[in-house]
Chains A and B, each alone.
Chain A
């Protein structure tokens, strides 16, 4: 059964207008950004009868930007993936992980309508940019009629496709502190075909180096033990402060990662393979970061 629905659309004239509508109608109206997720979920019958959509596209001017100010990089939630990927931000060596995510995101036509806020809002484990932003220790800015709040991305998700956003709130921005000079990021995914694929697993990393010492490190996956993007905190702790080497990474993924990672089997891949693949991708991600920060 694939109901393609009839529904009403409200087109707000400003962000405040949108927030007012949300305040009034709450979960009776559903925000839609790029549409690549919401419309497909509706098509698959997973959202029940939707009734009314709040089209965020008209307020793009207000919510699509990339700014660097006061030590923060701020990306508007309605910035399209293409806009993000064509910006100067991704050619900054520190944020090369975002560039990696751009390459594997999927079809160019999807990048032109999918948004950064949408990618985070879907709260699906296989969200490329969520994983990449986790490695930058990003925060999500939520706005509503009654104000605004920042929630660390690592605390944003509560379950499969669920997060802390209240029905009267909108994701307005993703922000992260500018990364230190001697650092870089990387992101990788792997699937059965070489393009336009969701990925069996996703892996992102960040390392700040001091010489060859791992001053700080973050490793994120599509899932560690929960059905949403997370960081592998124990593995990070193990790596932090140590001398970078392939052997160290091997020790991390052999002894530490399996203690915090619980993978699931589904028809696409088994838990065993997903865990092994997580190890391999983590190794490749961290090696790539080393290469980027002038190592070998």
Chain B
């Protein structure tokens, strides 16, 4: 029996105590702390800080001309003489370690011997002026030995056998271009397929998706007298930036300080590229003795930072006549591009979720991630989830079609419910909170699913309507990727205002406000008393990276701990003032009183002041560490995540069968997030995720040519949804099947809010047209040519 740590018990106690209670702040619509600055245009993003700096230098990245080439020599002597150029930095000038790889140390900051993708950096030009730096680039002579370029992952690996093929190695130093292999082995799949009444199989593909956050990457580095450096960085992981910069500079971590101001979107894209910018700017700052700024243009951003892993997958589902899943088989290939980045973790998460939120008698899944000379792939909201959900949910619809069953009914037959075991053998209990069925039923009712499904199957005319469903689940915390811990500090200042410090950052998702609402609820103090500090490695505690939809669940649990302990101290002081037991103290700031006798009352300010005199420090540090995950490498059995967020999406579309144009009319989202903490944030996630998922479904793809160059590195040829593309209506429904070890029962929503959008839309289009589509983006051309091939168009 494993001893349950104190910090977990506190979260469970809060969950039990507040169950069924009315909340003052949790679940309400409350304006976020930085809303006014942002609407006034006063919020400061990294590049905005430049208006306060003098004498800073610009760092310009000289990138390779060829996607795959040996670098025989770089001659920058002429560039160094160009007026206005201060330095040219190459790999040999790096004092520490020349590596910025996130999981595997396979990614040099500056290329030493070999360029592997079009964004690889050969040298840094440090100059007085950004125009000068770019002009000087033309004077750099590079001796390239071109190598064959591989842009198709199936040149590296066979989809059916998953064997590596003979090919010119991209990472010769590793001896193989396969970076990981994850498996699930459950039951006897071969027997199940033989015994099954129905078997459906299909091949599915998804593209490189670009984050396209509106704020391009930026970092300002200022050299410190002790040889260290302070960075202002647009990053999701300040402590990782610190780690990498310290490694590259060859200094201890405590000499590198990283501060994160307002960030204009991240979506997973600013998890590792910020390490690169941090290192670039820090090097320049330390070598010139001046503040250094590295900002990417949009084009650089698009070729220079990680993308969503494209997937090519083969799936086979076997079921009984009445729809019970007997076997799910999958071969999944993920293209991780030139470097691994977070690829190994993405491949793992994809594997865990590869069979969807369903029970199945048996399963065999093999996932391999491979290198190519494409732009490297890493973290992007969903992290393997959207890819596998697309394949799984299309398969389920195909199965429903073969069985003559309604797609919702087929899913209801197989979904995970409380008391079921997942495909990994994890038993789901009431403590996990399993709200998938409720979520699906709510969505079905709101959508009038059965009526519309029937009505739309007999249409004539050029415009055809369709309705589709997709389900998903998303494991909370980082599972076996590492030790998932988080922390927060609450400090009550002498004047009664509160400082909230955590290493988690805000990129627009608003999770930090949820943490404040949690603290506010437990302390009994209005959220407006709190100031959220910028994450700062010098003063905010390491709360882990802002990734994996973990801010609310993990950061929230740490905040529960801090607030709980702080409340105890406040209760102690208040009871000394009011003379009633600590358990009786009610705080509804600015008032504090005894529950049994409200006439015994005082003010918040008095309690704060007395704490000072009584010697009770009003600061608390809260820490939380998720229960360790369990995962068997050979069988994929265990308990990979602490719990799961569940979701059901129903999408309605109108297809113009003459052009293939798809208009998404309505998206209904129905998520079980345990408990809605920051209601505004939750709703915005449902809407924003729906729109970003719509882009993934219908229009977004980064395209490489045969030489590995990105053909569409800008926002007119990489199509991001505009206001016209947003659905006419997005309905957000909520299910609160509480997770006992989450703050007030909450689970994460950051990534779940995109996972199942694309398959719901594609399922709807298939319904509208009667054509099976298995590849996204489902552009008008694909829709049209599918209709044409099926003989359904009369031109």
For residue B721, CB closer than 8 A to chain A, the reply is yes
Chain A, residue nearest B701 (CB): A267
A269 to B699, CA, bound (A): 12
Known: A4-B131, A268-B717. A280 touches B659 (CB 8 A): yes
CB distance from B14 to the nearest CB of A (A): 46
Task: Tell me if A3 and B135 are in contact (CB < 8 A).
Answer: yes
A267 to B709, CA, bound (A): 12
Known: A192-B698, A192-B719, A192-B780. A1 touches B63 (CB 8 A): yes
Task: Tell me if A195 and B723 are in contact (CB < 8 A).
Answer: yes
Contact with A along B28-54 (1 / 0, CB 8 A): 000000000000000000000000000
Across the interface, B722 reaches (CB within 8 A) one of A5, A193, A281, namely: A193
Q: Point out the residues of chain A lying under 8 angstroms from B663, CB to CB.
A: 194
Task: Tell me if B711 and A197 are in contact (CB < 8 A).
Answer: no
A250 to B795, CA, bound (A): 8
CB distance from B235 to the nearest CB of A (A): 23
Task: Tell me if A194 and B724 are in contact (CB < 8 A).
Answer: yes
For residue A279, CB closer than 8 A to chain B, the reply is yes
Across the interface, A4 reaches (CB within 8 A) one of B130, B719, B721, namely: B130
For residue B599, CB closer than 8 A to chain A, the reply is no
Within 8 A of A (CB), among B620-660: 658-660
A290 to B703, CA, bound (A): 40
Q: Point out the residues of chain A lying under 8 angstroms from B297, CB to CB.
A: 2, 4
Contact with A along B361-372 (1 / 0, CB 8 A): 000000000000
Task: Tell me if B795 and A270 are in contact (CB < 8 A).
Answer: no
Task: Tell me if A280 and B795 are in contact (CB < 8 A).
Answer: yes
For residue B508, CB closer than 8 A to chain A, the reply is no
A117 to B131, CA, bound (A): 30
A4 to B63, CA, bound (A): 15
For residue A190, CB closer than 8 A to chain B, the reply is yes
For residue A254, CB closer than 8 A to chain B, the reply is yes
Task: Tell me if A276 and B788 are in contact (CB < 8 A).
Answer: yes
Task: Tell me if B795 and A276 are in contact (CB < 8 A).
Answer: yes
CB distance from A145 to the nearest CB of B (A): 33
Chain B, residue nearest A273 (CB): B781
For residue A38, CB closer than 8 A to chain B, the reply is no
For residue A59, CB closer than 8 A to chain B, the reply is no
Across the interface, B779 reaches (CB within 8 A) one of A192, A250, A280, namely: A192
Known: A198-B716, A270-B781, A273-B785. A193 touches B795 (CB 8 A): no
Q: Point out the residues of chain B lying under 8 angstroms from A200, CB to CB.
A: 781
Q: Point out the residues of chain B lying under 8 angstroms from A268, CB to CB.
A: 717
Within 8 A of A (CB), among B106-152: 130-131, 134-135, 137-138
Within 8 A of B (CB), among A263-288: 267-270, 272-273, 276-277, 279-281
Q: How many residues of chain B get a CB closer than 8 Å to chain A's CBs?
A: 38
CB distance from A235 to the nearest CB of B (A): 15
Q: Point out the residues of chain B lying under 8 angstroms from A277, CB to CB.
A: 659, 784
For residue B661, CB closer than 8 A to chain A, the reply is yes
Task: Tell me if B719 and A193 are in contact (CB < 8 A).
Answer: yes
In the complex, which of the residues A4, A270, A279 has the most CB atoms of chain B within 10 Å of its own CB atom? A4
Q: Point out the residues of chain B lying under 8 angstroms from A194, CB to CB.
A: 663, 722, 724-725
Task: Tell me if B137 and A1 are in contact (CB < 8 A).
Answer: yes
Within 8 A of A (CB), among B702-742: 703, 705, 711-712, 716-717, 719, 721-725
Task: Tell me if B717 and A195 are in contact (CB < 8 A).
Answer: no
CB distance from A189 to the nearest CB of B (A): 11
Task: Tell me if B299 and A2 are in contact (CB < 8 A).
Answer: yes
A254 to B781, CA, bound (A): 19
Task: Tell me if B780 and A190 are in contact (CB < 8 A).
Answer: yes
Within 8 A of A (CB), among B47-77: 63, 65
In the complex, which of the residues A194, A197, A254 has the most CB atoms of chain B within 10 Å of its own CB atom? A194
A34 to B711, CA, bound (A): 26
Q: Point out the residues of chain B lying under 8 angstroms from A61, CB to CB.
A: none
Contact with A along B657-671 (1 / 0, CB 8 A): 011110100000000
A268 to B725, CA, bound (A): 18
CB distance from B136 to the nearest CB of A (A): 11
Q: Point out the residues of chain B lying under 8 angstroms from A3, CB to CB.
A: 134-135, 137-138
Q: Point out the residues of chain A lying under 8 angstroms from B65, CB to CB.
A: 1
A254 to B785, CA, bound (A): 17
Task: Tell me if A190 and B659 are in contact (CB < 8 A).
Answer: yes
Within 8 A of B (CB), among A153-194: 190-194
Q: Point out the residues of chain B lying under 8 angstroms from A5, CB to CB.
A: 131, 134-135
CB distance from A25 to the nearest CB of B (A): 22
In the complex, which of the residues A193, A270, A276 has the most CB atoms of chain B within 10 Å of its own CB atom? A193
Task: Tell me if B781 and A269 are in contact (CB < 8 A).
Answer: yes
Task: Tell me if B698 and A6 are in contact (CB < 8 A).
Answer: no
In the complex, which of the residues B659, B660, B721, B724 has the most CB atoms of chain A within 10 Å of its own CB atom? B659
For residue A262, CB closer than 8 A to chain B, the reply is no
Task: Tell me if A2 and B300 are in contact (CB < 8 A).
Answer: yes
A179 to B476, CA, bound (A): 66
For residue A242, CB closer than 8 A to chain B, the reply is no
For residue A196, CB closer than 8 A to chain B, the reply is yes
A6 to B128, CA, bound (A): 14
Contact with A along B558-591 (1 / 0, CB 8 A): 0000000000000000000000000000000000
Task: Tell me if B130 and A192 are in contact (CB < 8 A).
Answer: no
A280 to B699, CA, bound (A): 21
Chain A, residue nearest B711 (CB): A267
A92 to B665, CA, bound (A): 33
A268 to B705, CA, bound (A): 12
Q: Point out the residues of chain B lying under 8 angstroms from A191, CB to CB.
A: 719
A196 to B135, CA, bound (A): 32
Q: Point out the residues of chain B lying under 8 angstroms from A273, CB to CB.
A: 660, 781, 784-785
Q: Point out the residues of chain A lying under 8 angstroms from B723, CB to CB.
A: 195
Task: Tell me if A267 and B725 are in contact (CB < 8 A).
Answer: no
Contact with B along A1-26 (1 / 0, CB 8 A): 11111100000000000000000000
Task: Tell me if B131 and A197 are in contact (CB < 8 A).
Answer: no
Contact with A along B248-292 (1 / 0, CB 8 A): 000000000000000000000000000000000000000000000
Task: Tell me if B785 and A193 are in contact (CB < 8 A).
Answer: no
A-B contact pairs, 19 of them (CB 8 A): A1-B65, A3-B134, A5-B135, A190-B780, A191-B719, A193-B699, A193-B722, A193-B725, A194-B725, A195-B724, A197-B719, A198-B716, A198-B717, A254-B795, A270-B781, A270-B785, A273-B784, A276-B795, A277-B784
What would 17 more interface pairs be, CB under 8 Å, given A193-B698, A273-B785? A1-B63, A2-B134, A2-B297, A4-B131, A4-B297, A5-B134, A190-B659, A192-B777, A193-B719, A193-B725, A194-B724, A195-B723, A267-B712, A276-B784, A276-B788, A280-B659, A281-B659
Q: Which residues of A contact B (CB under 8 A)?
A: 1-6, 190-198, 200, 250, 253-254, 267-270, 272-273, 276-277, 279-281
The 7 closest A-B pairs by CB, nearest first: A195-B724, A194-B724, A273-B781, A195-B722, A192-B699, A267-B703, A3-B134
Q: Which residues of B contact A (CB under 8 A)?
A: 63, 65, 130-131, 134-135, 137-138, 297, 299-300, 658-661, 663, 698-699, 703, 705, 711-712, 716-717, 719, 721-725, 777, 779-781, 784-785, 788, 795
